[in-house]
Structure 1
Amino acid sequence: MRFAPAAAALSLALAITASVGQGAEPAPSPRAAMLIAEGEAALDAGDTQKAIDAFEAALTVDPAYTPTLLRLAEAARADGLQGKAIGFYREALTRDPDNFAAISGEGAALVEKGALERARLNLAKLESLCGDGCDETRALATAIATGPAERVLTAEAVMPDAEVVQSN
């Protein structure tokens, strides 16, 4: 009985310490951090394929580091692969359902694909989680207001009508 108060205080301290430790995102492995930096530099330089390769390599080295998925999704969007980017955002949301950057990024990719109603659902979720004032909510609201970009037709996409000649 004399140890009960001390044991209760110790167990409370351990519970608080454990919950704080679980909430923080662990740092990536040093090799993955180097690959992520390489990918960010390539993305800043406009070399999306090199960035995607670096981020995929970082994800292979450290598959538990969720921010790599977000960077990979950004690179896929920059390369015009919105469907692939949505897949990466959804994987990040599977790991962390309240990840504001993933919710906003997925919504922006949905806008780019023309799925405005689904993007508005993401906006509503962001507004309920972090309010109108957070950066992710404002970015997604701006993307929805802007709407999807006009698709550019190529010469190959516009084919002249074929003339049908009936033979006798």
Structure 2
Amino acid sequence: MPFFRTVAASIISLGVLCSAQSWADAPDKPEDFIRRAMSAIQKKNYRYAVFQLKDALKMDKNNADAWNMLGFSYRMQGEEKFDLAWNAYEQALTLDPNHIDANEYLGELYLMQGQMDLAKEQLAKLDALCPTGCKERDMLAKAIADKAGS
């Protein structure tokens, strides 16, 4: 009887090892890269987030959320990355013109560049997208009001 238990335990162990090896060899999905990017963004590690989002976009170039977060990550790195941020937001909005976050973030980018009129255009788009209001619209409106007051 102990022989059969040993054989059974070996078979089970081999099955677990094989499934673990298959899992370890499984390629990442775009969502995996995006999840790592979001974690990096929470830690303000925007450079690492950019690498993760670029990898996600290699696998799914039509992911408006990934383009939007790429724009955010570039924008948060400062003025020298604003052109890259703008391009990423434009790509997100080409894929999804109603992308609420991309519309807000593009408005914030315009504010950072001193382009108040363009920021207000983004606010008007958010007014249309959020007729009953939304936090993104409110955040851009506050940023515009703060900038106008300073």
TM-score band, normalised by shorter chain: 0.7 to 0.9
TM-score, scaled relative to structure 1: 0.66
Using the TM superposition, give the Cα deviation of residue 98 of structure 1 relative to its aligned residue in structure 2, in angstroms.
1.6
Following the alignment from structure 1 to structure 2, what is the Cα–Cα distance between the partners of residues 112 and 50? 23
Gaps of 5+ in 1: 1-28, 151-168
Following the alignment from structure 1 to structure 2, what is the Cα–Cα distance between the partners of residues 85 and 66? 13
- What letter is aligned with 2:89? Y
Kindly report the root-mean-square deviation, in angstroms, between the aligned alpha carbons of the 2 structures.
Answer: 2.0
Following the alignment from structure 2 to structure 1, what is the Cα–Cα distance between the partners of residues 101 and 51? 21
Whether 1:68 aligns to 2:33 is: no
Query: Which structure shows the higher helix fraction?
Result: 2
Which 4+ residue blocks in structure 1 deviate beyond 2 angstroms?
none
2:83 aligned residue: 83
Following the alignment from structure 1 to structure 2, what is the Cα–Cα distance between the partners of residues 46 and 137? 23
Aligned residues: 121
- Identity within the alignment, %: 28
Following the alignment from structure 2 to structure 1, what is the Cα–Cα distance between the partners of residues 28 and 51? 17
Using the TM superposition, give the Cα deviation of residue 73 of structure 1 relative to its aligned residue in structure 2, in angstroms.
1.1
Whether 1:131 aligns to 2:128 is: no
- 2:63 touches 2:92 (CA, 8 Å); kept in 1? no
Q: What is the 5 A alignment of 1:132-147? A: 133-147=133-147
Following the alignment from structure 2 to structure 1, what is the Cα–Cα distance between the partners of residues 103 and 61? 20
TM-score, scaled relative to structure 2: 0.73
Residue of structure 1 aligned with 2:42, choices 44, 61, 66: 44
